[in-house]
Amino acid sequence: MKRREFTDKLVTGVMALMLGLTALFLLVFLVRMFGQGARALSWEFLFTAPRNAMREGGIYPALVGTFLLTGLAMLIALPLGVFTAVWLTNYGRPLWLVRILRVAINTLAGTPSIIFGLFGMAVFANLLGFDISLLSGGLTLAILALPVIINNTEQALRGVPADFREASLALGATTRQTISRVLLPTALPNILTGAIISIGRVAGETAPIMFTAATFYSRRLPRGLFDEVMALPYHIYGLMTEGTHPAQQVPIAYGTALVLLILVLAISAAAIITRGLIRRKRQW
Amino acid sequence: MSFPDNQQNLHSDTGAQAPVFVRMKLKSFKEKSFQAITYTAALLTVACLLGIIFGIFREGLPLFESVNLKEFLFTNSWYPTHAEPEFGAWALIAGSLAVTLGALVIAIPLGLGAAIFLAEIAGPRLSELAKPVVELLAGIPSVVYGLFGMAFLAPLVRQWFDLDTGLNVFTVSVILGVMIVPVICSMCEDALSNVPKNIREASLALGATRAETIFKAVVPAAKNGIAGSILMGFGRAVGETMVVLMVAGGAARIPGSVFDPVRPLTSTIAAEMGETVIGDLHYQSLFALAIILFLITFVSNLVTEALLIRRDGR
């Protein structure tokens, strides 16, 4: 009896230790990132361009580039994803297409991001002639975000109680009217919070934009869809691997990483908290 | 549809002046075109996947007109830029497998342990708090982990173990491992939470301790979901690019120990693509590596799906 109790305690302790170790590593990680990154941060850092071959100056072009890339990706992925999810939940005929679509969504979700990058380079940049540009990168990131948005929108739509839909149909509304005036408005908060969480993911991706959109150094902001852009994640990579002055570049890399980290975490956290509040407030 | 007059208020947008049959036509046209739009979106999504497959195969397959497939897969001299280029990808595949295995060795105990603790042992308050935190951690950009590994962990590893370089399998495994813990943990926790309560209660009622209940009743009942979570972690680790690109060291050799640098598939693609000329052998060979990578993740995805469907059917 004593031995069994001891084993029980031991096992419980080991499980807690696993959680503790993970938490400890992440704590060291966050403390390091914030500690080192905070030294570089200033308004000047955020709002000026890099100077002196990336040894000094700020990250303004990269910050703007990341906003543009992410925004463009969402602009493309959100309507495509939402309509796909609407089709999946409300029409879903023929059945073979549903099956293929499910396989496609799951495969896209599991495909490594570097493959999206290669695809974007081969098809958008070379085949279609968009070159290394905001447009190529935005399209590539859009495809990357697509499965997340579809899955999340589908969940949100399926979360709307069947009564709502049946009541609407019983009142004589057509399927389209039911979708656009009942289902989508009801599911909208969940669709949006999910999309915002995926914004956080998209903003931090490096591999897909390496060969489709990003450039290490650019003095000016992109002037149009066909201009190449700087981006925060790629800037970090560039500072760490290119250039000849690591002593000056590493602190800037830490600062850039902190900005990216705060951006991604803040956006996602806001969405996660909002989603929690919506769930609690919901009446049905 | 059969009572068009009753619907006048519902859709004033069809125009109150128009005769009934015109309104009907307009309405059915709107319905049809809306359905067509959603249908097109669904087709486009499928087209995205087909486009990716088409894109990488179109660029990668021509390599095998000049390089033997067997040689490509099973020899390990990767000298794509020599005058007599050699494309033996085995060392790169081995590199990918080494770092993925290392990551799993670290992430499986941490992820499963944390999930079991959160789902079975911790109070509801801690679990409620942990769930969003885990979700948040899953979103930390990999390039930030790469920076952390390169600028902080690698020098420490070098010092601790007295090595020539801290950029090696061990350091990558630690970082990749911690990176996929949230993936494994959240999926595994879901699997455990889906185990019916009566299984737990029956086991406890029979006099089993909590640990015995967890490992002899709950975990076996959730084994498909747990296996799925591990495969998901595998897929994430094998396809991760930035961390391995920055921290793996980049030597295209089969690692002899955990402190050897390696060059996995993903980092080879990322590091060398910039040096290639579109359409040359080197370019094609990198796309061929991408095909291998795609097939690995595709198969692991299919297996995960199969596992999860079986769980649902239980």
Reported as a single tens digit per residue, the pLDDT across A105-132 is 999 999 999 999 999 999 999 999 998 9
- Give the C-alpha separation, A185 to A53, whole Å: 50
Express each pLDDT in B25-50 by its tens digit. 888 888 899 999 999 999 999 999 99
Task: Check residue B6 and give its pLDDT.
Answer: 45
Residue spans of the domains in chain B: they are 4-64, 73-313
Does residue B80 carry a pLDDT above 60?
yes
CATH for A60-150+188-281 is 1.10.3720.10
Question: What are the residues facing B249 on neighbouring strands?
Answer: B262
**pLDDT of A240-283, one tens digit each?**
988 778 788 899 999 999 999 999 999 989 988 888 888 887 76
Q: Does A8 touch chain B (CB under 8 A)?
A: yes
Question: What pLDDT band is residue B313 in, cutting at 50, 70 and 90?
Answer: very low
CB atoms inside a 10 Å sphere around CB A89: 20
The fold of the B73-313 domain, in CATH, is: MetI-like fold (1.10.3720)
Of A83, A117, A205, which is closest to B38 when you measure between CB atoms?
A: A83
Q: Could you tell me which residues are beta bridge partners of residue A214?
A: A229
- Interval B96-115: pLDDT, tens: 999 999 999 999 999 999 99
**What's the pLDDT at B312?**
52
| Residue A27 in contact with partner chain B when CB distance is under 8 A | no
Ordered by start, the domain boundaries in chain A are 60-150+188-281
b/e for B111-126, b at 16 or more Cβ within 10 A? bbbbbbbbbbbbeeee
Is B55 an interface residue toward A (CB < 8 Å)?
Answer: yes
Which residues of chain B from 165 to 184 reach within 8 Å of chain A, CB to CB?
178, 181
What ipTM did this prediction achieve?
A: 0.92
For position B1, what pLDDT does the model report? Answer: 42
The three-state DSSP-derived secondary structure of chain B is CCCHHHHCCCCHHHCCCCCHHHHHHHHHHHHHHHHHHHHHHHHHHHHHHHHHHHHHHHHHHHHHHCCCHHHHHHCCCEECCCCCCEECCHHHHHHHHHHHHHHHHHHHHHHHHHHHHHHHHCCHHHHHHHHHHHHHHCCCCHHHHHHHHHHHHHHHHHHHHCCCCCCCHHHHHHHHHHHHHHHHHHHHHHHHHCCCHHHHHHHHHCCCCHHHHHHHHHHHHCHHHHHHHHHHHHHHHHHCCHHHHHHCECCCCCCCCCCCCECCHHHHHHHHHHHCCCCCHHHHHHHHHHHHHHHHHHHHHHHHHHHHHHHHHC
| Contact at CB, A276 and B294, closer than 8 angstroms | no
pLDDT of A126-184, one tens digit each? 999 998 999 999 999 999 999 999 999 999 999 999 999 999 999 999 999 999 999 99
DSSP 8-class letter at A132: S
Please say if the pLDDT value at position B243 is more than 60. yes
Query: What residue of B is the nearest CA neighbor of A79?
Result: B41
Q: What is the pLDDT of residues A35-59, one digit of tens each?
A: 999 988 888 888 888 877 667 778 8
- Judge whether B234 is closer than 8 Å to chain A, CB to CB: no
CA distance B204 to A282: 36
Q: Which residues of A touch B48 (CB under 8 A)?
A: 104, 108, 143, 146
